[in-house]
Chain A
Amino acid sequence: MQSLVAEQLTKDFGEGQARVRAVAGVDLQVSSGEVVLIMGPSGSGKTTLLFLLGALLRPTSGRVRVDGEDVAAAPSRRLPAIRLRHFGFVFQDFNLLANLTARENVEVVLNLAGVRGVDARRRSGRLLKGLGLGKRADHLPEKLSGGEKQRVAIARALANHPPAILADEPTANLDRENGRQVARLLRDAAHGQGAAVVMVSHDARVVEFADRVLRMEDGRITDAGASPRGMEPARGLPSSPGGERMMKDPVCGMMVDEKSAKHTSSHGGRTFYFCSPGCKRTFDQDPPRYRH
């Protein structure tokens, strides 16, 4: 069953000559229980797409349907309730409320949805316990590690059993172990709760947890539907569905198509491929740091 559907989703910023098309006619279907990973260089429109899917931004044209409801057409006053009922959000910076404990951070969305008192406490406690945070439930975010914070954020995203979970760079601020754990939890959320998970990430480590990997560039999905499990590794790296060799951006770890890569740099007789000018610039400032 398709839980989250985008049809010809387009978003323009500015007007006239200053108009920039951030998302250009994206079609996307994410089924219940599926994890879709969207990768692409900075400025490719990934996060804007996430805004549009999550009813945080209105599209210039196109539709977004979640559980059959067209959220793009909903009046503004209904958007908070739509976000509350249909979406769970996981952010790169965790975005927990600093003065509430882990348990209360989960409870707050339950309260917003009308679940209060013992019911809210029981549900938040159960969620945190399930994520290995039973003993950390009464700690403030400042006392939690990055991985723990992100797990609290996942518990918060799952609290109201939304049909869709949107995650923006959820592993970017985490070390390898915690990053993998968070990605695994998101996958478990999809498989266990039947949520449609859309994850935007530069992090190549999360590819293995996705059911589908989409590549986005210039506001369009340029490479749709690749199953990471079907990717053939080339020199230890996965190849794109067309068979092109995928190279790892040494700065951010993202997979870059060798043939279509726009940003490259040579150093020590080797060619390096980058997802964006920013990663190239970072590399060029200190190549030995990234040569491995």
Chain B
Amino acid sequence: MPSPGEGRGVDSPDPSVPPVQAGRGGGELMVSVARRNLFHERARLTLSVLGVGFSILLIAVLSATYAGFERTAGIYIDHLGGDVVIMQEGAQELFHSFSVLPANVSAQVQQVNGVASADGVLTRRVEVHGGDGDFVIAVVGFESAGGPWRVAQGTARPGASGIVLDRVAAAREGLGVGDDLHLLGRTFRVVGLSEETNVFTLQYAFVDRAEAEGLLLPPDTVSFVLARVAAGEDPAAVRDRINAEVAGVTAMTLAEFRENSTRVILDAFDPILAVLYATGFLVGIMVVGQILYAATLEKMREYAILRALGASGRRVAGIVVQQALLASVLGFAVGVGLSAALGAVVYEFVPAMPLSFQPVSFLWLLLAAVGMSLIASLAPLRRVLRVDPATVFRR
């Protein structure tokens, strides 16, 4: 039964509501139109969100890989425990420069004003045999500075005939604490597994300096010297003094050494990562763009209806943009979830892959998601802005 007033027909204007003020039109239902159009087609929404999500995942993994490279490339240097690095003259970084110094350089450096201590460190890439076969690692002979700083298992002090092996290399080669490694004619027993000593394709192992002398390098030589500066001394000033007073060396602050060393690694990957970033971004744009375009074409008549009813082009375009933004935010959330899950899986099963998710990078990823959705909405927007409102009369 109709309620009071039901079906009374068309009456004179209702005085209880304010008059229409055309021209300053708001669009609270425009948000609903955008949201409902998007959520109405669940399959399409899912594809769109997954499209953004997987693009975000790809970019996040690349970003985390880059950060992982940067972190792992520098993490050994961060833990060297010195303030100034002294290498053979002309050598600039850890990974590709070859540096051999006479062992007595340590004593010369020690004499420089402002130096508190100076330790020689030996390092060399060597082929080792053990576990499942032969492999190459960078062996470091250290005394007090330059050794492992975090161990997953066992001890950080190798001792006589002991070796601390990188956890990633150990896992890959099927080695563990107590196993033997053969290198340069000597046998070492694995006494510890170190963390954070995997630099992309290169892993570290650590032995006592006494074991390394005459094994990794000719007798009475070291690879580089690590100097600690006295309290209150500026490392840069000490660096300059060493360069001036010690012949045949290049001294750098630890920060310079780190920058040089990480740059040489990252520079090789920058172009590759840039291409992959762009690919991920473009894939996201293509997926969202295609889905958004199809959704827009499907609703073109409704856009024409709105235009005919008096909606401005800007307001109708807003529906498309809102849909794009909704898809991007949902896709971002999915992408972050997938990234977290993948990060956990990679850490467990692919330890050689140095993923390092940085909180700040997620802000950039959100901006990337929004950016790709906005770019993806350009083609649909073009169609919507050109829609002829008169088409609603055509049958």
Task: State how many angstroms separate the Cβ of A137 from the closest Cβ of chain B.
Answer: 11
Give Cα A144 to B24, complex, Å: 32
Q: List 14 A-B contacts (CB under 8 A).
A: A50-B393, A89-B392, A104-B29, A113-B21, A113-B25, A114-B26, A122-B16, A129-B3, A130-B5, A130-B7, A131-B7, A132-B2, A134-B2, A193-B13
B267 interface residue (CB < 8 Å to A): no
Cβ B390 vs Cβ A99 within 8 A: no
Per a CB cutoff under 8 Å, which of B11, B14, B20, B392 touches A85? B20
Give Cα A117 to B2, complex, Å: 25
Among residues of A, the one whose C-beta sits closest to the C-beta of B34 is A99
Given the known A-B contacts A110-B20, A114-B24, A161-B20, are A56 and B390 also in contact in the complex, defined by CB atoms under 8 Å? yes
- Give chain B residues whose Cβ lies under 8 Å from the Cβ of A158: 10
Q: A114-B22, A135-B6 are in contact. List 6 more A-B contacts (CB 8 A).
A: A54-B308, A77-B312, A84-B25, A99-B36, A114-B26, A161-B13
Cβ A83 vs Cβ B29 within 8 A: no
Cβ B28 vs Cβ A100 within 8 A: no
A115 interface residue (CB < 8 Å to B): yes
Give Cα A34 to B308, complex, Å: 23
For the complex, count residues of B whose C-beta is within 8 A of A. Answer: 49
- Give chain A residues whose Cβ lies under 8 Å from the Cβ of B302: 97-98
Give Cα A185 to B10, complex, Å: 6
Give Cα A192 to B12, complex, Å: 5
Cβ B309 vs Cβ A81 within 8 A: no
Cβ A84 vs Cβ B389 within 8 A: no
Please encode chain A, from 108 to 124, with 1 for each CB lying within 8 Å of some chain B CB and 0 for all others: 11111111110100110
Give Cα A244 to B11, complex, Å: 38
B386 interface residue (CB < 8 Å to A): no
Please list the residues of chain B having a beta carbon within 8 angstroms of any beta carbon in chain A: 2-3, 5-14, 16-30, 32-33, 36-37, 40, 301-302, 305-313, 315, 389-390, 392-393, 395
Task: State how many angstroms separate the Cβ of A66 from the closest Cβ of chain B.
Answer: 13
Cβ A113 vs Cβ B10 within 8 A: no
Task: State how many angstroms separate the Cβ of A206 from the closest Cβ of chain B.
Answer: 16
Cβ A104 vs Cβ B32 within 8 A: yes
Cβ A56 vs Cβ B9 within 8 A: no
A276 interface residue (CB < 8 Å to B): no
Cβ B312 vs Cβ A80 within 8 A: yes
A257 interface residue (CB < 8 Å to B): no
- Give chain A residues whose Cβ lies under 8 Å from the Cβ of B390: 51, 56-57
A226 interface residue (CB < 8 Å to B): no
Among residues of A, the one whose C-beta sits closest to the C-beta of B307 is A80
